[in-house]
Amino acid sequence: MAVIQKHGKSCSPDLVCFKENHPPDKTGVAGGHKKCPEHHTNWPRPVARVWTVVLLLGTCLLYCARVAMPICAVSMAEKFNWTKRESGMVLGSFFWGYCFTQVFGGYVSDRVGGEKVLLLAAAAWGSMTAFTPILAHLCSQPILSMTLARFLMGLLQGVHYPSLASLCSQKVVESERGFLMSTVGSGSYLGTLLIGGAGSLMLDLYGWESVFYISGFMSVLWAYCMWKYLLKGEGPLISLESLGSGGSQSKLTKRHWLRLFKQRAVWAVIVTHLCTASTYFTLLSWLPTFFKESFPDAKGWVFNVIPWLVAIPSSLFSGCLSDHLISQGVDTVSVRKLMQFFSMGVSSVFTFLLCGNTTFLWAVAFVSATMGLTTFSHSGVSVNVQDLAPSCAGSLFGVMNTCGAFSGVIMVYFSGYLIEATGSWASVFALITTVNLLGLFTFLAFAEARRVDIDSSKIRHHNIHI
């Protein structure tokens, strides 16, 4: 009996190893296909909820470890007599390391499983964080050891988000990916808040070393609990054989990489993510300075805390909304575009309002609305890469994040140049608005939700399985 499926949810002969709900079609291609490995089956909903909480906590600790150095930078500069330039070199070295392992992390995750990469990386960057004070005190040139340590931290943490994208594409059904990614993404805001509050308290009471010790220890503990209770103590080691022979998935990736980058939808997610990341990095870097210069008498905790408090529920809401719309039958690509419209379109309205003269309260309100709406991208472009290429979502997300990190560094520097050249913050907010709209129009025009990591010549209007 023939079962006819709609194109968006179907499984062509090339896809039998990626769709878990259908048995392999041995008649689709001469020679048949190998069976899918077990680790590509979708999580049941209760298991997915447990993993969502665990990954949320992991992302929270990721940012606790990442932001530990910026929080302690002033105290460390006083301790080791660093200049502003030297402090900037230490802080900036993280982002250069962060750029180089994005694609590699996604590549490995697509082949051996994102959970293994997350586990090994967390154990490594957690240990590096805990040993940072020891390295600083033991080395005769702390500036060199700390620069190298931050560079290594960037390398190790660079695999996190590509691994998440790969894991989500392999284990989570399409209608629940928005909630998982938006919930896990909110961990970054939660971690920033947590280390900003608790870290500052530890810094005052116990010294800057305690911030690194506690955040590093908690990260290693998280990795151990994940290995012990979720992976059931399975060996997280990654063999060279598993990297070289990832089964049908790796063969498909190699065969279609060049064709993949000829797809307009792929370039749409790359360009859109590039614009989203660069504007986010710019706001993150320059907003504290904007508030200090524009409102010197304002309380710092207000503009450093309130926008992130708004961002957390906003991120969760966007995930619930996108999954609800998809479950109600709304076209997936329409949902992705709607989420990105809120993230880049509506948020740009509030960013542009900062160009004019505003009071402190209105400025905080505009920034909070901007940061809250920006989180909708977790259910937009960030999930769209999994719609397009679930077989190599980690690698493709790594490409996107690498481009976003590089463009973010460049835009942060260029924004500083604009401030010095024009003497006005309006030029920076106008630039952010322009870049956001460019990314939005690209996504609205070219984004799709159909799979492009397969041979389209083998897909017609429907797929028929006998």
Could you state, in order of their start, the residue ranges of all structural domains in the chain? 43-231, 254-465
Best CA proximity match to 60, nearest among 219, 203, 176, 209: 219
**Tokens 């309006």 correspond to what residue?**
426
Cα distances (angstroms) measured from residue 280 to each of 73, 292, 366, 370: 22, 19, 15, 10
- pLDDT value of position 333: 95
**For position 267, what pLDDT does the model report?**
95
Tokens matching residue 355: 């160009």
> What phi and psi, each to the nearest 5 degrees, are found at residue 5?
-120, 155
Q: How far is CA 90 from the centre of its chain?
A: 23
Q: Are 19 and 451 in contact (CB under 8 A)?
A: no
Q: Give the number of other Cβ atoms within 10 Å of residue 31's Cβ.
A: 5
Beta bridge partners of 383: none
Same fold, 43-231 and 254-465: yes
pLDDT computed for residue 285 by the predictor: 77
One-letter identity of residue 380: G
CATH class of 254-465: mainly alpha
3-state secondary structure the chain: CCEEECHHHCCCHHHCCCCCCCCCCCCCCCCCCCCCCHHHCCCCHHHHHHHHHHHHHHHHHHHHHHHHHHHHHHHHHHHHCCCHHHHHHHHHHHHHHHHHCHHHHHHHHHHHCHHHHHHHHHHHHHHHHHHHHHHHHHCCCHHHHHHHHHHHHHHHHCCHHHHHHHHHHHHCCHHHHHHHHHHHHHHHHHHHHHHHHHHHHHHHHHCHHHHHHHHHHHHHHHHHHHHHHHCCCCCCCCCHHHHHCCHHHHHHHHHHHHHHCCCHHHHHHHHHHHHHHHHHHHHHHHHHHHHHHHCCCCCHHHHHHHHHHHHHHHHHHHHHHHHHHHHCCCCHHHHHHHHHHHHHHHHHHHHHHCCCCCCHHHHHHHHHHHHHHHHHHHHCHHHHHHHHCHHHHHHHHHHHHHHHHHHHHHHHHHHHHHHHHHCCCHHHHHHHHHHHHHHHHHHHHHCCCCCCCCCHHHCCCCEEEC
- pLDDT in the model for residue 55: 96
Give the tokens for residue 256: 């279609």
Domain topology for 43-231: Growth Hormone; Chain: A; (1.20.1250)
pLDDT score of 243: 52
**Closest C-alpha among 64, 46, 199 to residue 122:** 64
Tokens in use for 106? 């996604």
CB-side exposure of 310: number of CA atoms within 13 Å?
18
pLDDT tens digits in sequence order for the chain, 466 residues long: 333 343 444 343 333 333 334 444 433 333 333 433 434 588 998 999 999 999 999 999 999 999 899 888 888 988 999 887 788 788 888 888 898 999 999 989 988 889 999 999 999 999 999 999 999 999 889 999 999 999 999 999 999 999 999 999 889 988 888 889 999 999 999 998 888 888 888 988 999 999 999 999 999 999 999 999 998 877 555 554 555 554 444 444 566 778 888 899 999 999 999 999 999 888 887 888 788 889 988 877 787 788 889 999 999 999 999 999 999 999 999 999 999 999 999 999 999 999 988 899 999 999 999 999 999 999 999 999 989 988 888 889 999 999 988 888 888 888 888 888 888 899 999 999 999 999 999 999 999 999 887 765 554 444 434 3
Confidence at residue 352, expressed as pLDDT on a 0 to 100 scale: 96
What is the model's pTM? 0.77
